[in-house]
Amino acid sequence: MSNLTVETAYGKVQGAQVDGLSVWKGIPYAKPPVGSLRFRAPELPESWEEVRDATSFGPVAPQAQRDIMEFLGNDISNMSEDCLYLNVWSPAADDKKRPVMVWIHGGAFIAGSGSSSWYDGASFAAQGDVVVVTINYRLGIFGFLHLGEIGGEEYATSSNCGIQDQVAALHWVQENIAAFGGDPNNVTVFGESAGAMSIGVLLGFPSAKGLFHKAILQSGAAANVHSAEKATHVASKLLEALDVDPGNLSKLEEIPVEKLIHVSSLAPMMSLGPIIDGVSLPQHPQEAIKAGAAKDISILIGTNKDEYNLFTVFDPEWKDADDDKIHALYEKTFGPLLPAIKSFFAQGKPLTQELFNKLVTVSIFTYPALQLADMQVAQGAPVWMYRFDWETSVFNGALKSAHALEIPFVWNNLDKENTERFTGQGTERQLVANQMHKAWINFARYGNPSADASVEWPAYETQNRSTMIFNVESKVENDPNATERMIWDQAAMLMKN
């Protein structure tokens, strides 16, 4: 048997040799979630007898076409509800027990896939001697429709199918990755945006316990979950739009995928995501983490300096917005906090898009990351904090250090399709990529991103809050987000009052 033909627990898979690496694509880790398995927890895949071809990616999860995701390299040309597949890059399928890195993609829980060219694991495998796994999981209405309060026991775990898919993939890794040259006892999960938010949930998700040992969270933490009450309200509205009687939920199994995607676009952004359903997720992950659920997990976490610029630059509502329009956008986003924002944060000056971007960046990304870091440190877990400050020159520099910009640097995939229109073509880009790529490899291998690195990166603690600032010349700063932290501490107090 060649090392491209690997025997998994469910059958043999035949991969391909690509530039000296072994690559397997489109391996099923669960049964197709179709028919009666739609809106149900994932089930183990069926076994197969013949050698399965694993040289092309499986279909991506059903999702709407979105310009911003296409800009970020997302390809939905091959899409199907039968989407629960994963991909593996390895130096070789041998018994070397290399560190394993499992990537959970972002996309606001409604878009993305593990097969984007930006997530090609070749550089990690070649330069880091690690095994890389990328996965698909159910998105949007298929992954996060909370039917438990409406449909009872039969739909008790419908709300978190997407997270349960991730858990199923991690179980597959535990069971099979040794045959691909990986060490199931040294698994690092890493992800960006909704992928990092997923990891924040997994840190407090009981069935994920013991399936991974380290975690890297890029622009996401453990704050993004919905209450069962809010999720039931969203589900009820979607059932109404689909003309499905709550007493006849089996009708959902017959509705065409396209219609489900179209109707789910009526739901507010980020309203379809992880839910505290009382079954698969008994409590808020932050509460579980505070209680020590992840005290044995080393964390590397960080954000980009100008996260929200990505969204307002592409938002037509901000184009040529006058003072009235800007005020309305602030009111829509911040509601009762607006008077405090005007007095404390704008200090009487006109509200601007720049301040809006800063405040949303703090509230959605920076503050939750700091909260998670503090929770883990309080449990005695090792934590490393970073901030990505390198700015792209595209769109006349308007994006700055925008959301998702760090991805091709982390993966060292600056030469992949579509990355240059985001990063530009500057030669200094590779200097940044070299540092980040190496730090992620070191963390996966040693649990310390600064092992054998040129710049010492102290662990994060609440006294100094040491943070690596990634740029052409990276450096460590103490508490670089102090202003943002204090701003949102004040905001939190105002919200309580």
Which tokens hold the place of 144? 């996060």
To which H or E segment does residue 154 belong?
none
Catalytic residues: 193, 307, 403
Helix, coil or strand: residue 372 = helix
Give me the sign of the Cα torsion angle 368, 130, 6, 57.
positive
- Between CA 139 and CA 147, with CA 143 as vertex, the angle to 5 degrees is 145
Q: Which residues contact 241 (CB under 8 A, 6 or more apart)?
A: 263, 266
- β-pair type (98-104, 182-192): parallel
Name the one residue in this structure whose structure tokens are 């998670």. 372
83 contacts 60 by C-beta, under 8 angstroms = yes
352 contacts 433 by C-beta, under 8 angstroms = no
Q: How far apart are CA 229 and CA 185, in angstroms?
A: 38
Question: Which one-letter amino acid corresponds to residue 453?
Answer: A
Nearest alpha-carbon partner for 167 in 223, 120, 102: 102
116 contacts 419 by C-beta, under 8 angstroms = no
Altogether, the residues listed in the chain come to a count of 497
Give me the sign of the Cα torsion angle 331, 336, 337, 343.
positive
Q: How far apart are CA 486 and CA 219, in angstroms?
A: 19
Phi and psi angles of residue 386, each rounded to the nearest 5 degrees, phi first: -135, 165
CB atoms within 10 A of CB 396: 6
